[in-house]
């Protein structure tokens, strides 16, 4: 028998031994779960039987409380254990299918023999819990698998580090408990494994990449020294996947002091949230909190106001003329200097210029805005604006208590009392007699209740510092800058209680600085995906909202689709504002076949820096049509043919949502079932989808068909990046239709790999 066959047999035998151990642990765990479940049910059923309730004497009351607390804690501990056992059971089921994917043999300096370290999605001990059969991929020793080729290597420990030599680095393909492939490799995860993984069809949900993490991705995952980590990765470089593995790593490393509830992911849209929702559960971790910036601002919006979505904002600017008033305003409202300008404006308001609201009670002005302004500016100028507002609020609360007492015996209170229902009278009677308050009659209590109800909205306004007219202060800011046209455009929107997308971040930033909004102290880490589409003030707003957190920004300046990003600003490429900020650049694209990557990188400046992975596939095709009728006929026939011969997801991508609706309608008329993706879509339902570019961001499809890459659709400089973003969604096949003259960005491009 050859050495190769011998090793294969040995690895197969070891795999079966490990799976046998997993199955034994599963059976034992199932018995423990059943017993624990019975304990929990019994504790719930007999809870009061085992609690001595005696309220006769103070000592008896204390003893009763202690008995109840002890019983409740026991039940809580059993329920926690039951949940933990269930989680362990899920992990064992995942391990049973594919226990491990890699191995290194490491000989520590001073030792004569190497230790075989098998690496999987979770750790597994032998039946005596003495030796590791599998090491979790996040364990310090496992980092060598991703970072080193055979030869000298080291890994970190609490004592500093361990050095030695990797004598073997091996990868496995294990499916359904069977060894299907095995090969030795060097520094990077071997091409055989990547070819196997990347050649598969796309999935409705992103998958874990722990088996194929590359060295540069591992630097992203395990980085802990930087408060702000910027990951600038080209399309398909795995930056989002690496970020989610980073979440799993941080939860593993800091399990004692951090959980998924301490992290937030800001993603581009609800569909993306669903797309990535399975990665962490696959690794045995809970999902972190996921939201979009739009959803966050929506929660802060005052009642009756409408906030433009970023998608409506995009649609507007994709169809609007460049030199409109709003376009000029956009440049100002998203400029990198806006934060500093707002700081200067806030500084000026310390001395003068704050605009207050009249406070009303019973239909009349109770305290006028001029009175509020006068009182505010009589306070010490060295006290911050939020702290002076606190003092104003205390003054108002004192005055309100006096006003309450004065109002109790006025005629309007008598009228209100006559309208009270019997239930209110009954509660007042019980309250007087329960508190033995002989000095307060039921009538007095009811008068107090009526007045308190009437002043309650005013009291809430005071407590919320809703004394300031933030809308007017925000408009005044642009006048203060001598941008009167921009100010009037904002006035028009605000009069209709409409807030444009570009106004949300600066408006709420200004409000927070004035009112002193409490920070989210429990959030330890935030992740911002597609960060290239954030303006400087949006990032500044989040930094102020989460001052105690570490931040990971992920994106690609070449996939910027928002109008303000065409000016060249991106938080991904600005100079570091802090010393503990670091940028990691990922230049290798894994998503698309080599012919697609070689084609798409010609679309953008400096595209030659992008490295393609050597995975074969058909060349992208540019298909020209001369009329709308021919265009629809040809594209429909193409899609129909693809559905028959190319299993997997097919995306027809348009520039705007209006165009997506048109394409979807005539595909439906041809009898082709397609899903129209809109800003509210949260899941894929069909294998054929129609969607605009901005909703395809961060997602991948087996086949991409660009509906119309003609010059009348993509001719401005910012269109270059829209087209690049659309094309880079394709994994295996890419087709670009042009109704008329092709876009200048693809004219003359080589379609050869």
Annotated binding site: 233-240
Tokens of 17: 């031994």
Q: How many CA atoms lie within 13 A of 322 on its CB side?
A: 5
Cross-strand partners of 170: 103, 184
> Do the Cβ atoms of 733 and 617 come closer than 8 Å?
yes
Q: Is 112 exposed, middle or buried (0-12, 13-18, 19+ CB in 10 A)?
A: exposed
DSSP state of 608: G
Coil, helix or strand for 1?
coil
Long-range contacts of the stretch 470-474 (C-beta < 8 A, 24+): 470/507, 470/510, 470/511, 470/514, 472/355, 473/349, 473/354, 473/355, 473/510, 473/514, 474/503, 474/506, 474/507, 474/510
Q: Which parts are annotated binding residues for ATP?
A: 233-240
Please give the angle made by the CA atoms of 251, 254 and 256, to the nearest 5 degrees: 110
Beta strands in 72-213 (DSSP E): 102-108, 115-120, 124-125, 132-136, 151-155, 162-175, 178-184
Starting from the edge strand earliest in sequence, which strands make up the sheet with 621-625, in order?
621-625, 730-739, 701-706, 650-654, 688-692, 675-676
Q: What are the residues whose beta carbons fall under 8 Å from the beta carbon of 742, sequence distance 6 or more?
A: 622, 624, 709, 710, 711, 736
Can you list the alpha helix ranges (DSSP code H) found in 408-467?
411-418, 422-434, 442-463
In whole angstroms, give the CA distance from residue 561 to residue 728. Answer: 14
Contact 467, 423 (CB under 8 A): no
Q: How far is the C-alpha of 566 from the C-alpha of 557, rounded, in Å?
A: 10
* Three-class SS state of 117: strand
Nearest to 509 by CA among 342, 303, 357: 342
How far is the C-alpha of 292 from the C-alpha of 279, rounded, in Å? 18
């Amino acid at each position: 028998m050859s050495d190769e066959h011998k090793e294969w047999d040995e690895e197969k035998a070891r795999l079966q031994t490990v799976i046998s151990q997993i199955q034994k642990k599963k059976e034992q765990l199932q018995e423990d779960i059943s017993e624990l479940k019975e304990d929990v049910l019994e504790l719930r059923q007999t809870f009061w039987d085992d609690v001595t309730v005696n309220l006769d004497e103070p000592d008896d009351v204390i003893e009763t409380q202690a008995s109840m607390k002890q019983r409740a804690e026991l039940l809580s501990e059993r329920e926690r254990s039951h949940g933990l056992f269930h989680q362990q059971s899920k992990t064992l089921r995942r391990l049973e299918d594919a226990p491990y994917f890699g191995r290194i043999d490491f000989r520590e300096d001073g030792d004569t023999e190497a230790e075989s370290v098998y690496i999987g999605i979770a750790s597994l001990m032998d039946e005596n819990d003495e030796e590791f059969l599998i090491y979790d991929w996040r364990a310090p020793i496992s980092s060598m698998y991703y970072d080193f080729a055979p030869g000298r290597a080291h890994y970190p420990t609490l004592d500093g580090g361990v050095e030695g030599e990797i004598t073997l680095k091996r990868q496995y393909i294990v499916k359904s408990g069977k060894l299907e492939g095995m090969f030795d490799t060097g520094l990077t995860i071997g091409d055989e494994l990547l070819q196997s993984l990347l050649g598969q069809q796309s999935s409705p949900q992103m998958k874990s990449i722990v088996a194929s993490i590359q060295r540069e991705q591992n630097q992203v995952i395990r980085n802990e020294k930087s408060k702000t980590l910027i990951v600038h990765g080209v399309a398909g470089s795995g930056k989002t996947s690496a970020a989610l593995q980073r979440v799993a790593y941080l939860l593993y490393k800091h399990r004692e002091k951090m959980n998924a509830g301490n992290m937030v992911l800001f993603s581009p849209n609800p569909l993306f949230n669903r797309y990535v929702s399975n990665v962490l559960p696959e690794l045995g971790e809970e999902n972190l909190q996921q939201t979009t910036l739009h959803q966050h601002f929506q929660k802060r919006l005052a009642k009756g106001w409408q906030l433009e979505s970023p998608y409506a904002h995009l649609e507007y600017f994709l169809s609007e003329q460049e030199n409109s008033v709003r376009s000029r305003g956009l440049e100002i409202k998203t400029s990198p200097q806006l934060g500093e300008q707002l700081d200067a404006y806030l500084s000026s308001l310390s001395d003068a210029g704050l605009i207050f609201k009249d406070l009303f009670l019973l239909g009349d002005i109770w305290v006028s805005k001029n009175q509020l302004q006068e009182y505010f500016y009589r306070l010490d100028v060295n006290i911050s604006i939020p702290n002076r507002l606190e003092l104003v609020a205390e003054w108002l609360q004192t005055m309100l208590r006096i006003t309450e007492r004065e109002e109790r015996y006025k005629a309007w209170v008598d009228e209100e009392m006559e309208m009270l229902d019997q239930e209110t009278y009954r509660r007042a009677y019980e309250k007087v007699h329960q508190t033995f308050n002989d000095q307060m009659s039921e009538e007095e209590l009811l008068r107090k209740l009526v007045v308190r109800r009437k002043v309650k909205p005013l009291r809430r306004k005071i407590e919320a510092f809703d004394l300031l007219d933030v809308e007017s202060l925000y408009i005044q800011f642009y006048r203060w800058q001598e941008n009167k046209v921009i100010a009037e455009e904002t006035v028009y929107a605000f009069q209709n209680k409409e807030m444009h997308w570009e106004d949300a971040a600066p408006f709420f930033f200004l409000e927070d600085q004035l009112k002193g909004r409490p920070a989210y102290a429990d959030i330890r880490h935030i992740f911002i995906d597609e960060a290239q589409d954030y303006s400087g003030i949006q990032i500044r707003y989040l930094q102020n909202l989460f001052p105690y957190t570490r931040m990971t920004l992920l994106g690609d300046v070449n996939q910027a689709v928002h109008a303000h990003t065409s000016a060249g600003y991106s938080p991904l490429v600005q100079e570091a504002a802090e010393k503990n900020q670091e940028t990691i650049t990922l230049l290798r694209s894994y998503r698309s076949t080599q012919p697609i990557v070689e084609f798409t990188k010609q679309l953008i400046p400096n595209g030659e820096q992008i490295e393609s992975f050597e995975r074969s596939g058909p060349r992208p095709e540019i298909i020209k049509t001369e009329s709308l009728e021919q265009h629809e006929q040809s594209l429909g026939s193409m899609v129909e043919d693809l559905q028959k011969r190319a299993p997997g997801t097919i995306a027809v991508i348009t520039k705007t949502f209006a165009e997506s609706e048109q394409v979807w309608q005539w595909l439906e008329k041809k009898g082709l079932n397609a899903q129209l993706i809109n800003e509210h879509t949260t899941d894929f339902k069909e294998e054929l989808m129609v969607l605009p570019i901005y909703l395809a961001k961060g997602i991948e499809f087996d086949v991409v068909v660009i509906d119309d890459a003609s010059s009348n659709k993509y001719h401005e400089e910012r269109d270059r990046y829209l087209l690049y973003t659309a094309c880079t969604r394709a994994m295996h096949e890419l087709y670009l239709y042009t109704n008329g003259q092709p876009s200048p960005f693809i004219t003359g491009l080589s379609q050869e790999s």
